Structure 1
Amino acid sequence: MRYFACLLLLSLSWPALADKPLAPQQLPGATVVDAERAVLLIQTTPTLVVIDSRLGEEHDKGHIPGAVNLLDTDMTEAALSRIAPDRDTPLLFYCNGERCLRSSNAAAKAAAWGYRTVYWFRGGWQEWQQKELPVAR
């Protein structure tokens, strides 16, 4: 019985997930990267700041190692400058994946505020987990 109840619940929630808009393919002021490029940036750019734009609870359950949690709706210019005071600091933003707009919103804000090296990991947490990359908790 529980199985059928879960199946019914999933079938009712699936259309809601499908209705979520896709994140844009490109983002003015930011370089779009995939998981492999994100890993390379993390390994080769010591000054890179990785910003997890997801909810705090999501971050606590698992995140890219070293990522700082800053919810997109809480990201003000002052809040970002506390994390990265130098506008030349390279920033990498991510959220839950292609159906999450949090990191694209945050990366666009950073670019608009004059940060010169903004990376956006469009596939985000979903792609990170699919590739079975390291997770911090």
Structure 2
Amino acid sequence: MKVLFNTAALFLTATLLSFGAWAEMSPETIPGANTVDSDQAKSLFDQGVLFVDPRKDSDWEAGRIPGAVHLELNKNLSEESLLAEASKDDDIVFYCNGIKCMVSAHASEQAVSWGFKKVHFYRAGFPDWKSHGYPVE
């Protein structure tokens, strides 16, 4: 019985670990957008560029890049809501929860499709921002 339990536990563990490997990775680039790393994102931040956080409310409330505007992807991100914050010629940085988060990729794609010309896709996102010791709120 103990052997059966151990075998089942091992199988379950291996199965769960394999699902983690299948987690969808965000694309490295978004057509029409500029992918930026943490240093480039910080430089844009220091220049006063608009950061948009399209993550869900609970992620937003848990922490964010200071001054970022919260426009949740499937809730209130629209061409109109984005135009209320910036013109189509302004720089805009989208970020989310890192390379396994598709939210900022989809938000960046949307902004490009709406005609925003200076979209920056911060693929590494908030976790990498924090790990660099950059300001958070």
- TM normalised by structure 1 equals 0.83
Q: CA deviation at 1:15?
A: 4.2
Q: Which residue of 2 aligns with 1:111?
A: 112
Amino acid at match of 1:24: P
Amino acid at match of 1:29: G
Question: Identical aligned pairs, as a percentage?
Answer: 32
User: Deviation string for 1:77-121 (max 9, x for gaps)?
Assistant: 12212222x211110000000000000100111011111100010
Q: Which residue of 2 aligns with 1:4?
A: none
Structure 1 unpaired stretches of 5+:
1-10
From 12, 29, 32, give the equivalent of 2:32: 29
Distance of 2:126 and 2:97 partners within structure 1: 5
- TM normalised by structure 2 equals 0.83
User: Deviation string for 1:23-67 (max 9, x for gaps)?
Assistant: 1111101100011100001112x3x21001111111111101111
Structure 2 unpaired stretches of 5+:
1-12
Larger Rg: 2
Amino acid at match of 1:125: F
Q: Kindly tell me: are residues 135 and 31 of structure 1, through their superposed partners in 2, closer, same or farther at Cα, counting changes over 3 Å?
A: same
